[in-house]
């Protein structure tokens, strides 16, 4: 009787212990999931967030300039808003791709970016390429990525702004040059003057691109199919196990 009671007490004690362990593990997972774990990641997130906040401001300023420029220019205002909304989503996905620690999350954010780019292609009258973008990139390539992400293990902690100060310096230099070049490009006086010519209704359609690929670009087209074949064979050969190497004569 007493022994059984003891055992029951012991088991309940164990259960409590395990519960505490589980709680602490989930707590750890919780802190792992929240941001602020590493200063580098926080810096990148803040940078991306600031960039995102900047976009609506630019859009507002541009809209005001279009209104000032006249009614003819204002007619395309709705398209401009579409561009800014899709562009903001695209940039947000790209920022998330390079800041998320979990590769699955990063892959999903990259899918968002690729889909956003497909929307931008539609604004550029590239309908066939927009469809290809969704099918090939967001479909095939990203499925491959997610498959590989799931089949390899990942380190628990990854310092994003690692020990490589040279790389950090290069990245900051690229950012500075980019913004010094971009700001006058988008906001400068010539931005309103450069206007794309009017194109035919079937510009960028399947027929249009198909005719192009099978007349002017027939040789590159065949070359790229050979490249894809070589890539497939290469992927299989690289991943063959060592023991199978001597298998065939």
Partner 1 sequence: MIPITHFLGLAAVLFGLGLIGVLLRRNVLIVLMSVELMLNAANLTLITFARAHGQSHGQGFAFFVMALAAAEAAVGLAIVVAVFRSRRTVHVDEINLMKK
CA distance 94 to 98: 7
Q: Is 107 in the site for partner 1 (CB under 8 A)?
A: yes
Q: How many residues bind partner 1 (CB under 8 A)?
A: 92
Give, as ranges, the residues between 27 and 66 that touch partner 1 (CB under 8 A).
40, 44, 51
Give, as ranges, the residues between 2 and 21 that touch partner 1 (CB under 8 A).
none
Contact stretch for partner 1 (CB under 8 A) within 5-13, 16-24, 25-33, 232-240: 232-240
**Residues 128 and 206 sit within 8 Å (Cβ to Cβ):** yes
Minimal distance, residue 15 CB to partner 1, in Å: 35
Q: Give rounded-to-5 percent helix, strand, coil for the chain.
A: 80, 0, 20
Which of 57, 65, 143, 71 shows the shortest CA–CA distance to 107? 143
Q: Is 76 in the site for partner 1 (CB under 8 A)?
A: yes
Which C-beta is closer to partner 1: that of 37 or that of 204? Answer: 204
Which C-beta is closer to partner 1: that of 2 or that of 151? Answer: 151
CA distance 172 to 57: 23
Find the distance separating the first CA and the last CA of the chain, reported in whole Å: 73
Give, as ranges, the residues between 138 and 177 that touch partner 1 (CB under 8 A).
140-141, 144-145, 148-149, 151-155, 158-162, 164, 167-168, 170-171, 174-175
Contact stretch for partner 1 (CB under 8 A) within 6-14, 19-27, 28-36, 94-102: 94-102
Mention every residue, 6+ apart, whose C-beta is less than 8 A from residue 89: 112, 116
Contacting residue, 37, 85, 120, 131, with partner 1 by CB under 8 A: 120
CA distance 175 to 97: 17
Burial class (CB in 10 A: 0-12, 13-18, 19+), 185: exposed
Contacting residue, 22, 61, 98, 206, with partner 1 by CB under 8 A: 98
């Amino acid at each position: 009787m007493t022994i059984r009671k003891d055992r029951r007490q012991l088991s309940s004690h164990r259960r409590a212990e395990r519960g505490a362990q589980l709680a602490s593990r989930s707590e750890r997972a919780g802190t792992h999931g929240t941001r602020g774990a590493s200063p580098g990641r926080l810096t990148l997130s803040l940078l991306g967030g600031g960039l995102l906040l900047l976009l609506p401001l630019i859009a507002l300023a541009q809209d005001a300039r279009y209104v000032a420029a006249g009614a003819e220019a204002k007619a395309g205002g709705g398209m401009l808003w579409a561009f800014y909304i899709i562009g903001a989503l695209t940039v947000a996905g790209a920022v998330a791709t390079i800041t998320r620690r979990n590769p699955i999350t990063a892959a999903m954010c990259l899918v968002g970016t690729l889909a956003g780019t497909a929307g931008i292609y539609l604004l550029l009258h590239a309908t066939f390429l927009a469809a290809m973008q969704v099918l090939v990139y967001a479909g095939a390539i990203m499925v491959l990525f997610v498959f590989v992400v799931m089949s390899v293990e990942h380190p628990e902690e990854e310092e994003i702004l690692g020990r490589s100060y040279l790389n950090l310096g290069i990245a900051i230099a690229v950012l500075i040059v980019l913004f010094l070049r971009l700001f006058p490009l988008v906001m400068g006086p010539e931005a309103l003057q450069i206007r794309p010519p009017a194109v035919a209704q079937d510009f960028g359609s399947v027929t249009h691109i198909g005719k192009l690929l099978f007349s002017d670009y027939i040789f590159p087209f065949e070359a790229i199919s050979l490249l894809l074949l070589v890539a497939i064979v290469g992927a299989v050969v690289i991943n063959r196990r060592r023991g199978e190497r001597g298998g065939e004569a």
